[in-house]
Amino acid sequence: MVAMLSKEHEDFRRVVREFAESRIAPHVAQWDSDHHFPVDVVQEMGELGLFGITAPQEFGGADGDFTSLCVAIEELGRVDQALGVTLEAAVGLGINPLLTFGTQEQKERWLPDLVAGRTLAGFGLTEPGAGSDAGATSTRAVLDETAGEWVVDGAKQFITNSGSEITSLVTVTARTGTREDGSAEISTITIPSGTPGFIVEPAYDKLGWNISDTHPLTFQGARVPQDHLLGERGRGYAQFLATLDDGRIAIAALAVGCIQACLEHCVSYAGERTTFGKPIGAKQGVAFQIADLATMADVGRAITYRAAALKDAALKGGGVSGAELKQAASVAKLYTSEAAVSATRIATQVFGGYGFMEEYPVARFYRDAKILEIGEGTSEVQRMLIARGLGLPVE
């Protein structure tokens, strides 16, 4: 399947680009320096409808397609990766699990504010001892049947949108029992902000994504009603895997935005900066590197929107298998994330000494890019999944 964006998608791209360039670009360097999470601008993103792109109209959404979400993430990421991932995580990890696995009552309780961007939700999977190996989850949730409550104890780390002033809840994976074969029974439970025993630790001092909200979380006897179980008990691991497939495509869109930004900044700089009486873009050593950036952007965009189109086809019952979608998501995520890291290295080289200065945006993109190879499944995990999809007996 070849992904061709429609006129409606391109019109929407222009709307998001105008917003990003007018409301984010003028302030992004200062926000990044201050590690400031701009709540007002995030809520403006909600007013623009970005958090509700894929949500049903019943909850205030646009009932749009997954491709449109990827377009929005790419365009935000072209200006700032951190606000791009804020949208990606808010929808992919906050809203979508509720939409996919929540009860009608859970949806009615939380989705209207999340879809409108008035509040945010996080997804707590990663722990100090459990990341790619999600089966090693040690956070526990014990059902107090007398009180009708789950009692949650444990810790999560690297959780996006988990501690902002507008965060309303975090969905966490937790051990809720042991299966007959001795393996952990893992379920997902929603824990509202402000729940006693739910402790949001101080924000991380990160290498990049300085504008995004990221915290470690601690749970010390945090109690939530029994009906805060999300989906079927014991299906938390499967729910997490399904959530990640979508997230990998969205991260690929974010990476494409990073590559596109590097391309545009380099084309502009190479046309203005002169050495030995000529623009540096006239020199093959520079021009060829920028040509590589253009190729990365085109290839990355093609395989990302191919995966997004497969996702949309699957949602419409278009005969797309889960295996086909999983393979396309991993291919897109692997290529684009590694290409983005290479693109930022090339851009920094093109800018020379200026590329090492924080006053130039390529330095920020350089810092932001590395996490793309780690979040939503590392490059090593993607290679393992792709190899398995080819039928190889990879352990």
Angle between helices 322-351 and 379-389 (to 10 degrees): 140
DSSP conformational letter for 332: H
Query: In angstroms, rounded to a whole number, what is the distance separating the alpha carbons of residues 258 and 256?
Result: 5
Q: Say if residues 249 and 255 touch (Cβ distance below 8 Å).
A: no
Q: Which helix (H) or strand (E) holds 230?
A: strand 229-230
For 43, 160, 252, 361, the CA distances from 25, given in Å and listed in that order, are 16, 22, 21, 10
- What the block records as the tokens of 16 is 């998001």
Query: In angstroms, rounded to a whole number, what is the distance separating the alpha carbons of residues 83 and 38?
Result: 9
Q: Provide the annotated active-site residues.
A: 376
Q: What distance separates the 2 farthest-apart alpha carbons in the chain? A: 81
DSSP string, 18-77: HHIIIIITTTHHHHHHHT---HHHHHHHHHTTSTTSSS-GGGT-----HHHHHHHHHHHH
For 73, 82, 247, 262, 334, the CA distances from 361, given in Å and listed in that order, are 18, 13, 26, 9, 24
For 93, 95, 126, 238, 311, the CA distances from 98, given in Å and listed in that order, are 9, 5, 19, 14, 18
